[in-house]
Amino acid sequence: MDSVRGAASASWPPEAVHVEHFGADAQALAGERHPFELQLGRSGRTLQVPQDRSIADVLNGNGVPVVTSCREGVCGSCVTGVLEGRCDHRDVFLSDKERARGDRIMVCVSRASGPRLVLDL
């Protein structure tokens, strides 16, 4: 898959190359996890995300419904806007360009790379 994507990207712009993933990036999901503070930008509410729970789990567990489907960062159903903070992207849905912008996150698998993340919720 990586070889095909590399060959296509050598000839076409990245946004013209579409690939589908049928599973998560096991290496990205296995990365180090640390707890962080999650703030909801619309309400100002602050939640704690422990190292062993996803953002989606914390949100849903605190009465903030988040739609999820794959729970592996593949489908994009849980994409959520980011207002502040740096993202540790662990999905395979967003493009490199989208990840670099840092304004969206897949809350089912991705995390904050710093101590705090503010979501557009």
Residue 97 is part of a domain; what is its CATH number? 3.10.20.30
Q: Give the pLDDT confidence of 1-34 residue by residue, as tens digits.
A: 667 667 766 777 766 666 665 555 556 566 789 9
CA separation for the pair 49, 91 (Å, rounded): 18
Tell whether 4 is covered by a domain: no
Contact residues for 104 (Cβ-Cβ < 8 A; gap 6+): 79, 80, 81, 82, 94, 98
For the question of whether the overall pTM of this predicted structure is more than 0.85, the answer is no
- Mean pLDDT along residues 73-85: 96
Q: Into how many domains does the chain fold?
A: 1
- What sections of 1-121 are H helices per DSSP? 2-11, 26-29, 55-61, 96-101
Tell whether 42 is covered by a domain: yes
Using CA of residue 86, residue 88, residue 89, residue 95, what is the dihedral sign?
positive
Tell whether 12 is covered by a domain: no
Tell whether 64 is covered by a domain: yes
For 11-24, give one letter per residue: b (16+ CB within 10 A) or e. eeeeeebeeeeeeb
CA separation for the pair 121, 61 (Å, rounded): 15
Tell whether 6 is covered by a domain: no
Q: Domain span at residue 102?
A: 20-119
pLDDT of 80: 98
Number of CB atoms found within 10 A of residue 48's CB:
11
